[in-house]
């Protein structure tokens, strides 16, 4: 089949690679240059969790992703994931922490927050009354290295990747206006991140675009620390980053934005993140050494939205959104292939419009 993939973030790249490998005639299109910093996929690192507390559907996705990550690492000749372990934390009774414990195999008990300081030799601190679940199957993904790999690998498998060409919004069928050219396809997959609502307006009301800022902190004693996901009001998350830094982000804090005009990080962002650094990272300087902005596309229930357009069933919205999609990247190509070839898995159906009834199996997402 002749397939257009609109958007070459991590989702679009994975889809192009997989569909081309499976013999489809694939063209991937992006409005910006390769490795650009304006969507949701850029940056040095992302958190990997193999037993995500968000629910069984995500655990299944992560299990599907695990061997595919190893395949990608083998092809690239480099590791993409550094397994650091993780601390899933929150105020006593946190449904997220309880869910992490329930979904993990084995009898591991919850820790109290004040156990973390000695456990991490003083590097991480938490309030005494928090519940903490230690998850060994967590780590850090070298996000930009993965994007760079897919930009090399997808063309080797036969995908044509075209950068610097914007597909005109809205998409109204299987013929796309691409810059000055028009081209017809058998199927169109819209993996356009924060621009998805402009390209397919029927979904716009379900795709809120939010500005997010992450910050890197320097420690007086740099060493590899576990990743953190905190089920508090701001949804703090953290992970070790290159050059001995530790990166913090706020899953739940940050206002609405246009994807074409995102405010640069400022002093208010630094202070909001420093507040959490002071609490959680006692050996780190709470003044960030650098900050970056990123886009979240957030659905009302914060779960992925992968659904055909009602106006044209061969056009698929593929929104691996709400700030927690990167860890499943290798499966995105598989999900797109299932849709294209008419053999949907339960995971794919769970992210459709009607399949959201299955949302009882899904909890509050984290990074
Ligand atoms: C700050 C931050 C931290 C995160 N942390 C984690 C984490 O720790 N763990 C985790 O698993 N996930 C995390 N995520 C989520 C993960 O990064 C995203 O789910 C993922 O990157 C989404 O990728 P995407 O390809 O859907 O979107 P994008 O990367 O935004 O790609 C969309 C692409 O579409 C292109 N495009 C849009 N419109 C058009 C058009 N009209 N024509 C041509 N091209 C177009 C854009 O230029 C863009 O390149 C985080 C996200 C952010 C922002």
pLDDT value of residue 354: 84
For residue 154, name the pLDDT band (cuts at 50, 70, 90). very high
Q: Give 209's strand partners.
A: 297
pLDDT value of residue 362: 55
Higher-confidence position of 139 and 106: 139
Share of the chain above pLDDT 70, in %: 97
* Cα-to-centroid distance, 196 and ligand 1 (Å): 11
CA distances from 185 to 13, 24, 27, 146 (A): 18, 11, 10, 28
- Nearest-angstrom CA–CA distance, 141 and 125: 24
Residues 296, 212 contacting (CB under 8 angstroms): yes
The per-residue pLDDT of the chain, averaged, comes to: 95
Q: Which residue has the tokens 């199957």?
A: 137
Residue 187 Cβ inside 6 Å of ligand 1? The answer reads no
Burial label for 251, CB within 10 Å (0-12, 13-18, 19+), is: buried
Residue 335 Cβ inside 6 Å of ligand 1? The answer reads no
- Nearest-angstrom CA–CA distance, 3 and 231: 40
**Interval 6-20 mean pLDDT:** 98
pLDDT at 193 over 50: yes
For residue 121, name the pLDDT band (cuts at 50, 70, 90). very high
CA distances from 163 to 6, 9, 80, 159 (A): 10, 11, 24, 13
For residue 356, name the pLDDT band (cuts at 50, 70, 90). low
* Cα-to-centroid distance, 1 and ligand 1 (Å): 26
pLDDT tens digits, residue range 122-153? 999 999 999 999 999 999 999 999 999 999 99
**Interval 108-114 mean pLDDT:** 94
The domain limits of the chain are 2-66+142-206+300-361, 86-135+208-298
Residues 165, 177 contacting (CB under 8 angstroms): no
Helices (H), the chain: 10-21, 56-76, 95-103, 116-119, 143-156, 196-199, 267-280, 329-341, 346-350
pLDDT value of residue 141: 98
For residue 360, name the pLDDT band (cuts at 50, 70, 90). very low
Nearest protein CA to atom 50 of ligand 1, as residue = 323
CATH of 2-66+142-206+300-361, one of 3.50.50.60, 3.40.50.150, 3.40.50.720, 3.30.2130.10: 3.50.50.60
* Short-list 20, 3, 23, 54, CA closest to 364: 54
pLDDT value of residue 363: 62
β pairing state of 160-163 and 25-30: parallel
For residue 278, name the pLDDT band (cuts at 50, 70, 90). very high
Range 86-135+208-298: architecture per CATH = 2-Layer Sandwich (3.30)
Residue 7 Cβ inside 6 Å of ligand 1? The answer reads yes
pTM, 2 dp: 0.97
Residue 196 Cβ inside 6 Å of ligand 1? The answer reads no
pLDDT value of residue 355: 66
Residue 217 Cβ inside 6 Å of ligand 1? The answer reads no
- Nearest-angstrom CA–CA distance, 54 and 317: 22
pLDDT value of residue 357: 47
**Interval 256-271 mean pLDDT:** 96
pLDDT at 13 over 90: yes
**Interval 42-64 mean pLDDT:** 96
Structure-token pair, residue 136: 């060994």
pLDDT value of residue 80: 98
Structure-token pair, residue 257: 């934005």
pLDDT value of residue 322: 83
Polymer length of the chain: 367
**Interval 308-318 mean pLDDT:** 95
């Amino acid at each position: 089949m002749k397939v257009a993939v609109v958007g070459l973030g991590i989702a679009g790249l994975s889809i192009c690679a997989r569909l081309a490998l499976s013999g489809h005639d694939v063209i991937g299109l992006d409005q910006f240059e390769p490795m650009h910093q304006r969507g949701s996929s850029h940056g040095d690192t992302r958190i990997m969790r193999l037993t995500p507390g968000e629910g069984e559907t995500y655990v299944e996705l992560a299990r599907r992703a695990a061997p595919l990550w190893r395949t990608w690492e083998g092809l690239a000749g480099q590791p993409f994931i550094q397994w650091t372990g993780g601390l899933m934390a929150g105020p006593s009774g946190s449904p997220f922490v309880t869910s992490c414990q329930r979904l993990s195999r084995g009898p591991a008990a919850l820790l109290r927050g004040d156990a973390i300081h000695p456990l991490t030799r003083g590097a991480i601190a938490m309030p005494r009354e928090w519940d903490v679940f230690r998850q060994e199957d967590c780590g850090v993904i070298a996000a930009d290295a993965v994007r760079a790999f897919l930009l090399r690998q997808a063309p080797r498998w036969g995908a044509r990747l075209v950068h610097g060409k914007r597909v005109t919004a809205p998409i109204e069928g299987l013929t796309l206006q691409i810059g000055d050219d028009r081209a017809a396809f058998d199927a169109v997959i819209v993996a356009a991140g924060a621009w998805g609502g402009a390209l397919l307006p029927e979904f716009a009301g379900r795709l809120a675009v939010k500005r997010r800022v992450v910050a890197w902190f320097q420690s007086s004693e740099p060493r590899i620390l576990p990743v953190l996901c905190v089920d508090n009001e701001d949804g703090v998350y953290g992970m070790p980053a290159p050059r001995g830094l530790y990166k913090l982000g706020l899953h739940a804090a940050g206002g609405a934005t246009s994807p074409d005009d995102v405010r640069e990080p400022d002093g208010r962002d630094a202070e909001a993140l420093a507040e959490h650094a002071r609490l959680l990272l006692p050996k780190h300087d709470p003044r960030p050494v650098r900050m970056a902005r990123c886009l979240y596309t957030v659905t009302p229930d914060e779960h992925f939205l992968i659904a055909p357009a009602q106006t044209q069933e061969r056009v698929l919205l593929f929104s691996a959104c709400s700030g927690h999609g990167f860890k499943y990247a290798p499966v995105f190509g598989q999900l797109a292939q299932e849709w294209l070839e008419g053999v949907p898995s339960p995971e794919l159906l769970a992210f459709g419009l009607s399949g959201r009834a299955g949302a009882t199996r899904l909890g509050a997402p984290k990074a």
